[in-house]
Amino acid sequence: MTPLHYGAMLAARYAPRIAARGRFGTGVRYASAVTPQQESQIRKTFLDFQSHASFLENPLIMARSERMAYWDTSGKRYFDAIGGIFTSSLGHQHPAIVDALKRQIDTMTFTPPMHSISQVSLDFVERLGQVAPGDLNFVKSFCSASEAMECAIKWTRSYHKLAGNPGKYKFVSRYDSWHGATAAAVAASGGAARKSPHEPHMPGFLKVPTPLYLRDRLDWTWEECNRFAAQMFEDTIVSEDPATIAGIIVEPISNTAGIMTPTTEYMEILGRIASKYDVTLIYDETVTGFCKTGNMFSAQTFGVTPDIIVCGKGLSNGAMPLSAMIASERMASVFQNNADPSLMFAHGQTFAGQPLGCAVGLAVLHEMTSRNLATRAVEIGAGLRARFDTINQDLGCFKEVRGQGLLLGVELTDGKEKWGALGAELKKTAIQNGLILRADGAGWFAVAPALCAEDADLDELAEKLQRSLTVARDNIASR
């Protein structure tokens, strides 16, 4: 079966479920009505990166999902243009993934991590290593990518100590980045809004600007901005003393920087810098991994293999919490000196390597590889770009479309400069029009629809997007 026919096959498999459950309505409303009990429940937890007051102004409480749609508790349907949040890459409630989870539930749900490891976890380790680039075949799974990034940071520091370089403990990453919510991961991140409330952070984490930062301030070509931005990693390493630098951490394509997509040369320069100074190169592929960019990992898309990949989100299609750190065999060998039986990596978590997540991960990898869905990502991306061109011909508010495969970001403009207000308003009008995408006040939006998307799905996405942008622009003009 070709990737082109994959969406049609899934639609046929979903159809009996949809028919059995009945279709929910599609009336235009902003969000779910909230009962007093629900409001009380909401106030007993916190919402990710938003206040109770702002959420309760327009609350959204989901009831179910199917393929590329959500329905809220009152029955309104929402087209999911971003896989929940770069996660449900095969479509919600994918039959093969649900079936794999059910089978594992009936077999074994947990193993004691300090005494044993499950066979399904070992199978998962082997399979994920097989699809990773180069010699990256040493795998440890966790529940979230934040945990996997935390592990990668500790692993890198431990590696350098065992390799005879105990002074290497610092990491260089980028501003406008996000690497997770745990202590070391957030210290490695570069966005003030998510970091400042938790200051002071642990020391040893340095930042350099992105190529986009330079593009917006200097009259340079994009290639020149990338070369200079990449060189800043080396300048920082030299200034800080290479003997103190353990690693470089980057998202190959940066989500929080607006799907900032560097040149291949930029990634090549980082690879050379890491090798020159014996610095561990870590790719955070939480967003970019699992076929979105036209390959299993964006490391393969750029053709530059790191020492470690941190991944999550699409690895489980959202069916179970699952992430992984994938390290090179060269690094792993340092921890496996048989002459010293006490040698180990001092790290562990209760739910690391848990059987349910690993079973789901195996099923996801099987679907992606057997269906050649990386190729389908390129086809979907081309279809999206064509539709975005049409929208921009009508509205004229797109400065740039960037990204790889189906992972795309669009920078918004008022004709002169980045239009932050339109991004903020789009976040509201998109939900009003039944569209879920990534948008905020930074003047850009992002989409990454599921790999099962067909032309009709892309048409719906484009129609809802154009309507939402039009309303957002009119709302701003009327103020």
DSSP string covering 364-396: HHHHHHHTTHHHHHHHHHHHHHHHHHHHHHHH-
Q: What is the pLDDT of residues 220-273, one digit of tens each?
A: 999 999 999 999 999 999 999 999 999 999 999 999 999 999 999 999 999 999
Q: Report whether pLDDT(297) > 60.
A: yes
Q: How far is CA 32 from the centre of its chain?
A: 27
Q: What is the per-residue pLDDT for 342?
A: 80
SS3 of residue 401 by DSSP: strand
Q: Would you state the torsion angle of the CA atoms of residues 402, 407, 413, 418, taken in this order, to the nearest 10 degrees?
A: -80
Q: Report whether pLDDT(32) > 90.
A: no
Among residues 132, 458, 474, the alpha carbon closest in space to that of 327 is found at 132
Q: Report whether pLDDT(13) > 90.
A: no
Asked if 365 and 359 touch (Cβ cutoff 8 Å), the reply is: no
Amino acid at 469: L
Taking CA atoms, 220 is separated from 76, 225, 355, in Å, by 47, 6, 51
Q: What is the per-residue pLDDT for 21?
A: 38
Q: Report whether pLDDT(277) > 90.
A: yes
Confidence of residue 2 (pLDDT cuts 50, 70, 90): low
Q: What is the per-residue pLDDT for 33?
A: 77
Q: What is the per-residue pLDDT for 1?
A: 53
Q: What is the per-residue pLDDT for 341?
A: 77
Pairing relation of β-strands 398-404 and 407-412? antiparallel
Helix intervals (H) in 132-282: 145-162, 183-188, 192-195, 211-215, 222-240, 264-276
Upper half-sphere CA count for residue 467 (Cβ side, 13 Å): 13
Q: Report whether pLDDT(296) > 90.
A: yes
Average pLDDT (378-394) is 98
Percent of the chain with pLDDT over 70: 93
Q: How far is CA 240 from the centre of its chain?
A: 30
Amino acid at 419: W
Determine the Cα–Cα distance for residues 168 and 204; give it in Å rounded to an integer. Answer: 10
Beta strand residue intervals within 278-349, DSSP E: 280-284, 308-311, 323-328
Confidence of residue 6 (pLDDT cuts 50, 70, 90): low
Q: What is the per-residue pLDDT for 337?
A: 75
- Please provide the average confidence, as pLDDT, over all residues in the chain: 92
SS3 of residue 435 by DSSP: strand
Determine the Cα–Cα distance for residues 47 and 60; give it in Å rounded to an integer. Answer: 11
Q: What is the per-residue pLDDT for 11?
A: 53
Which structure tokens are listed for 274?
């890491």
Confidence of residue 5 (pLDDT cuts 50, 70, 90): low
R_g over Cα of the chain: 22
Confidence of residue 338 (pLDDT cuts 50, 70, 90): low
Taking CA atoms, 283 is separated from 160, 287, 310, 341, 467, in Å, by 18, 11, 6, 31, 36
Q: Report whether pLDDT(436) > 50.
A: yes
Q: What is the per-residue pLDDT for 17?
A: 43
Which structure tokens are listed for 66?
């199917």
Determine the Cα–Cα distance for residues 91 and 247; give it in Å rounded to an integer. Answer: 35
Among residues 238, 244, 168, the alpha carbon closest in space to that of 208 is found at 238
Confidence of residue 18 (pLDDT cuts 50, 70, 90): very low
Q: What is the per-residue pLDDT for 3?
A: 52
Asked if 348 and 190 touch (Cβ cutoff 8 Å), the reply is: no
Q: Report whether pLDDT(16) > 60.
A: no
Full-model pTM: 0.93
24-28, 266-270, 273-277: least confidently modelled range: 24-28
Confidence of residue 314 (pLDDT cuts 50, 70, 90): very high
What b/e readout covers 217-246, taking b as 16+ CB neighbours within 10 angstroms?
Answer: eeeeebeebbbbbbebbbebbeeeebeebb
Tokens 């930029």 locate to 266
Q: What is the per-residue pLDDT for 433?
A: 97
| Burial category of 184 from C-beta neighbours within 10 Å (exposed 0-12, middle 13-18, buried 19 and up) | buried
SS3 of residue 465 by DSSP: helix
SS3 of residue 88 by DSSP: coil
CB within 8 Å of 299: residues ≥ 6 apart = 133, 252, 283, 285, 305, 306, 309
Determine the Cα–Cα distance for residues 395 and 401; give it in Å rounded to an integer. Answer: 14
Q: What is the per-residue pLDDT for 145?
A: 97
Q: What is the pLDDT of residues 39-78, one digit of tens each?
A: 999 999 999 988 999 899 889 999 999 999 999 999 999 9
Determine the Cα–Cα distance for residues 263 and 23; give it in Å rounded to an integer. Answer: 45
Q: Report whether pLDDT(29) > 60.
A: no
Q: Hey, how many other C-beta atoms are within 10 angstroms of the C-beta on 164?
A: 8
SS3 of residue 119 by DSSP: helix
Determine the Cα–Cα distance for residues 240 and 277; give it in Å rounded to an integer. Answer: 12
Determine the Cα–Cα distance for residues 248 and 237; give it in Å rounded to an integer. Answer: 10
